[in-house]
């Protein structure tokens, strides 16, 4: 069975601060990894994905994530957050998308 | 273009009643997924369709839950004898053909089900 754990339940930042959200998965085989974002009142949207190749993945809106196979991690980063990044962020592992519990990010203006 | 559409957006019913939740996937998407999201949790997989058939229903919690996709497009999630613990947001997602493991899933807005 595969499972996903996210380290932080709620993160509060000021604008321009850097963001890093931790994600660890437990599955010994080849994995496809995703970060999804849910803005207030909106549906889940794909931020970025990793299937193979370069372990540093660039996504939309300046987000990136690094796959570290030896650590079973896929942490999400953004160098400088904006108020509009306030949302809930989910790390997920394919196939039937096993999601972490989510991390709520609040960015103060 | 049109995204995944779920109806109703909200459903309130009494314990013991039967409910049906509908999902209209994006046109041309062959894979369809149902998830359930409880408060403070991430979405939890329920069932996955490839075309008309359920390729994996291992996430359905018990035999009160059933889903169909008779024509390979619209899907209905059916819950019999509802219980208060069934209250959650039910999410539907679809993905295009071409190897489901390589295709991101597109999510609907969900149906918020409340069992009184």
Instruction: Give me the mean pLDDT over the B37-66 stretch.
Output: 90
Report pLDDT digits (tens) over A21-48: 999 988 766 778 899 999 998 989 999 9
Q: Based on the structure, what is the number of domains in chain A?
A: 1
Asked if B107 and A44 come within 8 Å (Cβ–Cβ), the reply is yes
Q: Which pLDDT belongs to residue A99?
A: 87
Q: Which pLDDT belongs to residue B101?
A: 65
Q: Which residues of B touch A (CB under 8 A)?
A: 3-4, 33, 35, 40-45, 48, 56, 58-59, 91, 93, 100-102, 104-110
Instruction: Give me the mean pLDDT over the B84-111 stretch.
Output: 88
Q: Which pLDDT belongs to residue A24?
A: 93
Report pLDDT digits (tens) over A68-100: 988 999 999 999 999 999 999 999 987 557 789
Please say if the pLDDT value at position A8 is more than 90.
no
Q: Which pLDDT belongs to residue A1?
A: 59
Partner-chain residue, chosen from B35, B93, B101, that has the shortest CB–CB distance to A95: B101
Give the CATH number of the domain where residue A69 resides.
2.60.40.10
CA distance A57 to chain B (A): 15
**At B99, is the pLDDT very low, low, confident or very high (cuts 50, 70, 90)?**
low
**What is the rounded average pLDDT for all residues in chain B?**
92
Q: Which pLDDT belongs to residue B2?
A: 82
Q: Which pLDDT belongs to residue B66?
A: 94
State both tokens at A81. Answer: 């957050």
Instruction: Give me the mean pLDDT over the B48-75 stretch.
Output: 91
The full set of domain ranges for chain B reads: 5-115
Instruction: Give me the mean pLDDT over the B29-44 stretch.
Output: 92
Q: Which of B54, B91, B59, B84 is nearest to B69 (CA)?
A: B54
**At B39, is the pLDDT very low, low, confident or very high (cuts 50, 70, 90)?**
confident
Share of chain B above pLDDT 70, in %: 96
Share of chain B above pLDDT 90, in %: 74
CA distance A10 to chain B (A): 11
CATH class of the region B5-115: mainly beta
Please say if the pLDDT value at position A56 is more than 90.
yes
Q: Which pLDDT belongs to residue A7?
A: 84
What backbone phi and psi angles, to 5 degrees, belong to A85? Answer: -85, 0
């Amino acid at each position: 069975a595969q499972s996903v754990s996210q380290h932080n339940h709620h993160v509060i930042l000021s604008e321009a601060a850097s963001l890093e959200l931790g994600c660890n998965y437990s599955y010994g085989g080849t994995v496809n990894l995703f970060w999804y974002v849910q803005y207030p009142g909106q549906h889940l949207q794909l931020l970025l994905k990793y299937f193979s190749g370069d372990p540093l993945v660039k996504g939309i809106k300046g987000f990136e994530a690094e796959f570290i196979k030896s650590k079973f991690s896929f942490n999400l980063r953004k160098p400088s957050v904006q108020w509009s990044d306030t949302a809930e962020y989910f790390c997920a592992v394919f196939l039937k998308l096993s999601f972490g519990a989510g991390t709520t990010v609040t960015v103060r203006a | 273009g049109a995204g995944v559409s779920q109806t109703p957006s909200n459903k309130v019913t009494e314990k013991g009643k039967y409910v049906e939740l509908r999902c209209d996937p994006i046109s041309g998407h062959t894979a369809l997924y149902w998830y359930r999201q409880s408060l403070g949790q991430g979405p939890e997989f329920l069932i996955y369709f490839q075309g008309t058939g359920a390729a994996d229903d291992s996430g359905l919690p018990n035999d009160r839950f059933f889903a169909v996709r008779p024509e390979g497009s619209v899907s209905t999630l059916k819950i019999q004898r509802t219980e208060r613990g069934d209250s959650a947001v039910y999410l539907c997602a679809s993905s295009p053909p071409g190897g489901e493991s390589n295709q991101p899933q597109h999510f609907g807005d969900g149906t918020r089900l409340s069992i009184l």
